[in-house]
Amino acid sequence: MLRHVAMFRWVGGTTEDQVAELQRSLDELPALIPALRDYRTGGDAGLAPGNWDFVVVADVDDAEGWRAYVDHPAHQRVLAELLRPLLGERAALQFEC
């Protein structure tokens, strides 16, 4: 199994409503993208200063599944319309589990 983790920091002025809309749209992706085996999203719990604002954790079978997720039109739409306008910084990695 391959796990993809992406963390985000929002630009100033990002609203709770914008983040909620993004999260709702992201949470719809597992029903649309068969390659996703497990998919979690969420905002920081606020327990420590300096943490990232939001995370996506996606589990797929392999690199081919990861590519199917990344390139899927529904994922690309969420990125273009909802995520990128809020994005200040992004960090990501993929690792074998």
pLDDT score, position 2: 98
Residue 55 · residue 5 · CB < 8 Å: yes
- Structural domains of the chain, count: 1
Position 55 scores a pLDDT of 98
DSSP H/E element including 63: helix 63-71
88: CATH: 3.30.70.100
Which domain does 39 fall in, by range?
2-96
E strand or H helix that includes residue 27? helix 16-27
Reading the chain (97 residues) residue by residue, the pLDDT tens digits are: 999 999 999 999 999 999 999 999 999 999 999 999 999 999 999 999 999 999 999 999 999 999 999 999 999 999 999 999 999 999 999 999 9
